[in-house]
Amino acid sequence: MRLLGVFLVALTCISGGLGDGLKCTLKPADIPTSWIDMVDPCIKIMESQVKTEIEAAMTYLAMGAHFARDTINRPGFSKFFIESASEEREHAMKIIEYLLMRGQLTNDVSKLLKFPLKPIREEWNSGVEALADALNLEAQVTRSIREIITTCENPKSQPFNDYHLVDYLTSDFLDEQYKGQRDLAGKVSTLGKMMQTHGPLGEFLFDKKLLNGEV
């Protein structure tokens, strides 16, 4: 055992001295590239959408944190917005996974995250104001997805219609976006009416319904 300990210490010293000399490097595999057919304008706008989704997630996190403050104490709103942040983060992950499936992001995935990450704002005066901001945010995300579809359906620089991506975004993303926008619009309407009838108590009651999943 003592001899083994000496050997391990010696090996550690040698490793430290050699540094990068002991690193294992593998020659890149010679993989045909004929299957990689996404055009550059489509790739770039898809990568940009990752930023859009992450910034939306950051905004929802800011909303969730705001309503979780002891001075605000709206757990229903906080829960709703934290869950919304998770959905936006999942969207960013799905876009990254799609690009990887199509043979992209093989060199440096970290470049997607090299940009300032910040929410659109950090404080809201009321629950209805936050819900209205969320609706505007979702509408912005929807427009950016539709722009991707337009770009990838008919790139100006190259005659290539990416049918698969267009179908994927239409069925998986746009459908969820439109349903989410309608849900938020309904929440803004319901909360607005409750506050007209009950004043600040309306927001308190609406928060309880949000917490219990009743609205």
pLDDT at 154: 81
pTM, to two decimals = 0.82
pLDDT for residue 105:
80
Annotated ligand binding at 53? The verdict is yes
Does 214 count as an annotated binding residue?
no
Q: Is residue 181 a known part of a binding site?
A: no
47 marked ligand binding residue? no
Tell me the residue type at 103: G
pLDDT reported for residue 112: 72
Q: How far apart are CA 123 and CA 65, in angstroms?
A: 9
pLDDT under 50 in the chain at which residues? 3-11, 14-15, 17-18
Q: What is the pLDDT of residue 21?
A: 55
Domain range annotation of the chain: 40-212
Class of the domain covering 40-212:
mainly alpha
Position 66 scores a pLDDT of: 97
The CA dihedral of 72, 75, 76, 77, to the nearest 10 degrees, is 50
Is 176 part of any known ligand binding site? no
